[in-house]
Structures are given as C-alpha cells and as structure tokens.
Amino acid sequence: MIKVAIIGYGNLGRGVERSLKQQKDMELVGVYTRRAPETVQTEGAQAFTMDQLKDKKGEIDVCILCGGSATDLPTQTPEWTHLFNTIDSFDTHAKIPEHFAKVDRVAKENQTTSIISTGWDPGLFSLNRLYAQSILPVGETNTFWGKGVSQGHSDALRRIEGVADAVQYTIPNSEVIEKLKAGEHLTLTTRDKHFRECFVVLEDEFDPEKIREEIVSMPNYFVEYDTEVHFISQADLDQNHKAMPHGGTVLHTGTTHENTKQVIEYNLQLESNPEFTASVLVAYARACVRLAKEKQFGAYTVLDIAPKYLSDRTDEELRKELL
C-alpha cells in the first residue's frame, strides 16, 4: 500500500481524502494542518499538527500538498520536499519555472521526488496542448475555460466595498468555438473568447448601479471582458451558486497535407473543480512514488511523466486492455 499524507485541508484536501477512498493501492495516513487539528472537520481522517509531520520521515511514501498557490505552495512545497516525496497543484502559470527550479534543487539535494503543478490547468490541459502541437505543428491551439466558478474573480468581487458576497462564472464563447472547429481563421481578443457573469449580494444602502460600474471597469479582472452583473439575495446565492463547477476545452485546429483539416478537442465538464483536481493529484502521487523507487530524484511536471506511471495496473495489463 502506498502511504499518503495530506498537507493542508481546504477544498482540495477534502477532495484528496475522498479520492483516496476510491484507490485500492493507496491509504491515507493523516491530514497535517497549520490550524489546531481538533478544529479541522475531516471526513474520517485523523488530523495532526505540522510539527508532528517532521517525525514521520520513512513512514510516508508521498505528501499531497493542498495549500493555496498564492502564498502557501511557494514555501510549503520546497519545505516538505526536504523530507518527503511531494505533489502540488501550483497554478500561478508565470511563476512555474521559478517554483520548479527551487523544488528541483531541494529534491536533488535530499534525494526526494516531486511532481509540481499537477491538476487540469496546469496539468491535463498542458499535456493536451503538448500532444496537439507536436502531432499537428501547422495549426493553432486555443484554451477555453468554463462554464465555471473562478475563485480569483469571485474573491475580487467580494473585496469591493458594499459587496456582502459574490460568485463569478467564466463562460466560453460557444460561437467562436464552433467557428474555429469549422476551420475559420480568427484573430481573437480576450473579449472574444470568454464572458463573465457575476452574482452579487449587496450590503444595505449601496447603490447597485455604482457597484455595477465598479465591477465592469475593474482592471485586470473585468475591464477586458463583456461582464453581466446580477444582484441577488444571500439566500439565492447560498442555494444556487455555492457549488464549484468548472471545466473547459483545449481546441487545436491544424492541417496536414495542403488543406486537410484536423481537429483535436479535449473537454472537461466538472461538477466539482476541487474534487476533480484532487483526483488528478492522487494519480500523479502514484507516479511520484514509482519514480522515487527508481531513484529518479528531482522535480518533474506532468510533461515528464510516462502515462503508465499513473495507473495501478501492470504494464502487461495496460497493453492488453488499452491498446
């Protein structure tokens, strides 16, 4: 059995606990948290302090880091890779090379293995971009996200004075997707590819029109998009908008000989973004343990991992059943 620890217990941590219950070859040995363990409501797993994790070297095959990308993972992944094999879902795209270099150095110095930036984007979408662009070098790749909840944009709405609560959906432009699939060559702006839809609960005495204006003109978040804003009650928001669906499409349209059109489409429709992301992390945790057993120390990303390493089946079984 592969012994797994969860570091950090939020949405993703809970998703990893759920996913591990579906694996035959893996067991959860504990949840490690910065909070007082007795205050963390797990779904059965025992919770411990981070200090208790330091004594577990040799007893845990892999730690799945479930902290946030903004401030947790940049320090937590290098820190725990000193002692353990690790997996993370670091998704600040521009900072991945820097994060990789830091974790790679620690892993090589301490003879551990780490797979960083797993999940679906970065992660499975990155892999599909690589396959598509390698197979059809004459072509164009577009990634569309949604329909789904963007935590970053929802947080940005909640920071506005007068907003009590809010949820933001990213919606892909389906007309543009169909045109691309039909082989049209389009020059696309940010505004063409996605819409943004906001459901906002106002605090009393705030003017909806002023708040709407503040939202649609917010730099970096909304100003480059067509944004629709709906004002609703807290009860409506709680009842209808607290799930965390997401998904998206990697679409590559290319040509082979002359104008022979080829379309590659990879699509995810997720009722729960964190539960799906967690399931990807768990599969890559298996690969991480296998690489470590082969003494392949250092940092890796999904682009480096042979697909068969994700599976609990033998090479022979995979050749027989999947080819």
How far apart are the C-alpha atoms of 163 and 172, rounded to whole Å? 25
Verify binding: residue 34, ligand NDP, rule CB under 6 A.
Answer: yes
80 is in an annotated binding site: no
Choices 11-19, 186-194, 205-213, 218-226 (CB under 6 A): range interacting with ligand NDP:
11-19
207 is in an annotated binding site: no
CB of 123 to ligand NDP, least distance (A): 5
Among 2, 4, 5, 13, binds ligand NDP (CB under 6 A): 13
Residue pair 199/212 in contact (Cβ under 8 Å)? The answer is no
Return the DSSP state at 113.
Answer: E
Per DSSP, the residues of 139-185 read EEEEEEE-SEE-HHHHHHHHTSTTEEEEEEEEEE-HHHHHHHHTT--
Place of tokens 């200090």: 51
Give the 3-state secondary structure of residue 315: helix
122 is in an annotated binding site: yes
Choices 113-121, 158-166, 211-219, 311-319 (CB under 6 A): range interacting with ligand NDP:
113-121
Q: Is 248 exposed, middle or buried (0-12, 13-18, 19+ CB in 10 A)?
A: buried
| Residue 250: HSE in the Cβ half-sphere, 13 Å Cα cutoff | 18
Give the residue from 176, 211, 216, 177 showing the smallest Cα distance to 196. Answer: 216
10 is in an annotated binding site: yes
CB of 232 to ligand NDP, least distance (A): 23
Binders in 254-283 for ligand NDP, by CB under 6 A: 273-274, 277
Among 1, 21, 27, 35, binds ligand NDP (CB under 6 A): 35
Verify binding: residue 122, ligand NDP, rule CB under 6 A.
Answer: yes
Choices 31-39, 95-103, 105-113, 258-266 (CB under 6 A): range interacting with ligand NDP:
31-39
Verify binding: residue 154, ligand NDP, rule CB under 6 A.
Answer: no
How far apart are the C-alpha atoms of 44 and 64, rounded to whole Å? 17
CB of 270 to ligand NDP, least distance (A): 9
Among 69, 85, 227, 279, binds ligand NDP (CB under 6 A): 69
Q: What is the dihedral of CA 223, 226, 232, 238, to 10 degrees?
A: -90
Q: Is the peptide bond before 219 cis (omega within 30 degrees of 0)?
A: no
Verify binding: residue 74, ligand NDP, rule CB under 6 A.
Answer: no
Among 4, 23, 63, 67, binds ligand NDP (CB under 6 A): 67
Residues near ligand NDP (CB under 6 A): 8-13, 33-35, 66-69, 72, 89, 91, 119-123, 273-274, 277
Binding residues: 9-12, 33-35, 66-69, 89-91, 118-122, 145, 170, 196, 246, 273
